[in-house]
């Protein structure tokens, strides 16, 4: 269990680095979300590959905002072909086609999760959102992204384009623990740290909304005895509006 302990201790160190470096960015990202909700907008979320889990992290979640609209594109997720999803996220022209199917506008904001921040669908999703007047929050790995070239013809990477950048403080390649016996690194950190950053950002948004006397709509756990009644009130409003519900 020594390596497992080392991995957990490393995560603790990264959490401390997030605490020391990312609070201003968390507050800024929270402010963008709060601004959208005050204008009756939505928080859209998007990610490709494993980062699609970050798009789901804030959706229909116990203690989570009701006005979250995840963009879940099957071809960019893993369950319909993992290798295919890698090919599809490198396809230029695809992001605009995706966003065209959603009723987003300048009142909304978009959170884009991508550890590398280098693939065309991610870059063009920023362009598509900003063309519609949306603010963009990036969740990415600056160390990894800065060490690699962009795969998009513009040469841009996600952290260079977003309005606010949340840095998960991960290492190049994400897998954080080198194992000499197999000459590979294991133990990715982007999911754990990404979820932490997103939950902290929602907390910052809620705090700022309350300071402006706005009561945010929050889901309860459906596994509490009182949860179904609380959630049904929200679902009666948002199921016709948010397709994944």
Give CA 60 to chain center in angstroms: 14
Domain 2-217 in this protein, CATH class: alpha beta
Looking at residue 1, what is its pLDDT?
66
Beta bridge partners of 45: 70, 111
Angstrom distance (rounded) from CA 91 to CA 189:
26
Please write the tens of the pLDDT for every residue from 128-182.
999 999 999 999 999 999 999 999 999 999 999 999 999 999 999 999 999 999 9
For the chain, residues with pLDDT lower than 50 are: none
Angstrom distance (rounded) from CA 237 to CA 49:
31
Angstrom distance (rounded) from CA 164 to CA 114:
14
Return left, alpha or beta for 72; rule: phi > 0 is left, psi -120 to 50 is alpha, else beta.
Answer: beta
CA distances, 244 to each of 7, 44, 93, 172 (Å): 35, 12, 24, 33
Closest by Cα among 206, 223, 226 to 31: 206
Task: Give me the chain's average pLDDT, please.
Answer: 95
Domain boundaries, the chain: 2-217
- Sign of the CA dihedral running 62, 13, 50, 4: negative
SS3 136: strand
Q: What angle do CA 193, 118, 196 make, to 5 degrees?
A: 10
Cβ(28)–Cβ(197) under 8 Å?
A: no
Burial 20-55 (b: 16+ CB within 10 A, else e): eebeebbbbbbbbbbbbbeeebbbbbbbbbbbbbbb
Looking at residue 81, what is its pLDDT?
87
SS3 177: strand
Parallel, antiparallel, or unpaired: how do β-strands 135-140 and 68-71 relate? Answer: unpaired
Q: pTM to 2 decimals?
A: 0.95
Beta bridge partners of 179: 184
Looking at residue 57, what is its pLDDT?
96
Residue reference for tokens 């991995």: 7
Angstrom distance (rounded) from CA 120 to CA 30:
26
Looking at residue 7, what is its pLDDT?
94
Looking at residue 80, what is its pLDDT?
85
Angstrom distance (rounded) from CA 219 to CA 228:
9
């Amino acid at each position: 269990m020594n390596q497992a302990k080392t991995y957990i201790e490393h995560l603790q160190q990264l959490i401390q680095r997030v605490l020391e470096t990312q609070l201003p960015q968390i507050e800024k990202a929270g402010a963008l979300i709060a601004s959208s909700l005050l204008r009756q907008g939505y928080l859209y979320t998007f990610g490709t590959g494993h980062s699609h889990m970050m798009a789901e992290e804030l959706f229909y979640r116990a203690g989570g905002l009701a006005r979250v609209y995840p963009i879940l594109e099957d071809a960019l997720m893993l369950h319909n072909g993992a290798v295919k999803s890698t090919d599809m996220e490198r396809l230029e022209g695809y992001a605009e086609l995706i966003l065209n199917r959603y009723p987003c506008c300048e009142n909304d904001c978009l959170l884009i999760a991508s550890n590398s921040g280098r693939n065309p669908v991610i870059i063009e999703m920023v362009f598509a959102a900003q063309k519609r007047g949306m603010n963009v929050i990036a969740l990415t790995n600056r160390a990894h992204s800065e060490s690699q070239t962009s795969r998009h013809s513009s040469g841009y990477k996600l952290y260079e384009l977003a309005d606010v950048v949340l840095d998960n403080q991960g290492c190049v390649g994400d897998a954080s623990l080198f194992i000499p016996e197999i000459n590979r690194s294991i133990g990715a950190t982007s999911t754990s740290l990404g979820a932490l950053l997103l939950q902290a950002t929602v907390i910052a948004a809620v705090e700022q909304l309350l300071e402006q006397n706005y009561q945010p709509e929050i889901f309860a756990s459906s596994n509490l005895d009182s949860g179904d009644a609380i959630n049904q009130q929200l679902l009666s409003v948002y199921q016709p509006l948010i397709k994944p519900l």
